[in-house]
Amino acid sequence: MTPLQRYIAEEIAIDHVDGLLSRREALRRLALLGVGTAAATALIAGCSDNRQPEAQTTATSSEPATGGGPPGAQTAVETTPITWPGPRGELQGAWAEASDPRGAVLVIHENRGLNDHIRSVAGRFAGTGYSALAIDLLSGQGGTGAFADPAEATAALSKIPPRDAVADMRSGIDELSRRVPDRKLAAVGFCMGGAMVWRLLNAGEPRLSAAVPFYGPAPKNPDFSKSKDVAVLGIYAAQDERVNATEPVARAALEKAGMQFELVTEPDANHAFFNDTGKRYNAAAAADAWQRVQDWFARYLA
């Protein structure tokens, strides 16, 4: 099992432990990843044993901190589906154009692929002055829309070689540069997408001025020296022990590379707290994180 497959498998197991998935559904999703019943049972048991009591509650506020929906929704811009030539074929994405862009953002989705939530995030960035491209990392498999079952989309994502994902993200940066010339660029990712942001930095991406991984695990033994000029804002959640365990690794690599960075942990929040369509949505944490990202972009992207 690759590190990405392991990460997604653990996420499915924890979703069951936290009451977000039935045991039958968790086993079905794990089977799609190639995890047999015995191994899946052992994984669920291990995640249950390692779970802290305070992290087992998933009741969060689904009401936004301010009126008008999740942060940035009031000024959000509609997205348009686009395609462009990638390193191994056509890539798909959702494009949101700011009227007078101060910069541009590559948005990298969670392990469910490019869905309406991620499209809305791209639109929200455009509404605050940053043109945004939400890339579909399942483009090589026909795109997220080709999967009727979101669990199958997740399984397909888990099998994408990291080098291919990095190449596609770099192609997304190429497309951003073409559409928004002479502006600084950033990458923002959520969950698996947060992990992809770390991988992009680890691979070396000097064209970025800022990067914001949301609750994404850092790769093993990362080296960010080829991305040393990128200003990194890492967002974590206090109840997300699994991802938080990698925070010291990310911090050490950022310090070693001499990068400008800030790592923030939102209190009383769990993994995926920014996703307003999910059961772990935390309106207060989402609003605070959104403001922190806007402040970061004002300093390093505009």
Same domain, yes or no: 157 and 31:
no
Sign of the CA dihedral running 43, 45, 49, 54:
positive
- Cα→Cα distances 85→91, 145, 174, 219, Å: 6, 19, 10, 28
| Residue 55 covered by a domain | no
Q: Which residues contact 58 (CB under 8 A, 6 or more apart)?
A: 18, 19, 20, 270, 279, 280
Amino acid at 162: P
| Residue 233 covered by a domain | yes
Question: Quick count: other Cβ atoms within 10 Å of Cβ 52?
Answer: 8
If you average pLDDT over residues 106-130, what whole number do you get? 98
Share of the chain above pLDDT 70, in %: 94
CA–CA dist 79, 97 (Å, integer): 8
Residue 196 and residue 38 in contact, taking contact as beta carbons nearer than 8 Å: no
| Residue 90 covered by a domain | yes
| pLDDT for the residue numbered 75 | 97
If you average pLDDT over residues 11-17, what whole number do you get? 96
Residue 276 and residue 270 in contact, taking contact as beta carbons nearer than 8 Å: no
CA–CA dist 236, 240 (Å, integer): 7
Same domain, yes or no: 19 and 141:
no
Range of the domain at 82: 73-301
Same domain, yes or no: 81 and 45:
no
| pLDDT for the residue numbered 58 | 38
| Residue 172 covered by a domain | yes
Same domain, yes or no: 296 and 213:
yes
Report which DSSP code applies to 289. H
55-89 per-position pLDDT tens digit:
443 334 434 444 579 999 999 999 999 999 999 99
Same domain, yes or no: 96 and 41:
no
131-183 per-position pLDDT tens digit:
999 999 999 999 999 999 999 999 999 999 999 999 999 999 999 999 999 99
| Residue 44 covered by a domain | yes
Mean pLDDT, all residues of the chain: 94
167 alpha carbon, distance to own chain's centre: 17
| Residue 286 covered by a domain | yes
Any idea what the CATH number is for the domain that residue 163 is in? 3.40.50.1820
How many domains is the chain built from?
A: 2
Same domain, yes or no: 39 and 80:
no
Same domain, yes or no: 256 and 162:
yes
Same domain, yes or no: 155 and 39:
no
If you average pLDDT over residues 222-245, what whole number do you get? 97
The answer on pLDDT for 205 being more than 50 is yes
| Residue 79 covered by a domain | yes
For 11-20, give one letter per residue: b (16+ CB within 10 A) or e: bbbbbbbbeb
* Consecutive H or E run containing 92: strand 89-96
| Residue 17 covered by a domain | yes
Same domain, yes or no: 89 and 199:
yes
Same domain, yes or no: 28 and 117:
no
Same domain, yes or no: 198 and 80:
yes
The model's pTM is: 0.94
| pLDDT for the residue numbered 65 | 42
CA–CA dist 111, 214 (Å, integer): 13
Same domain, yes or no: 190 and 271:
yes
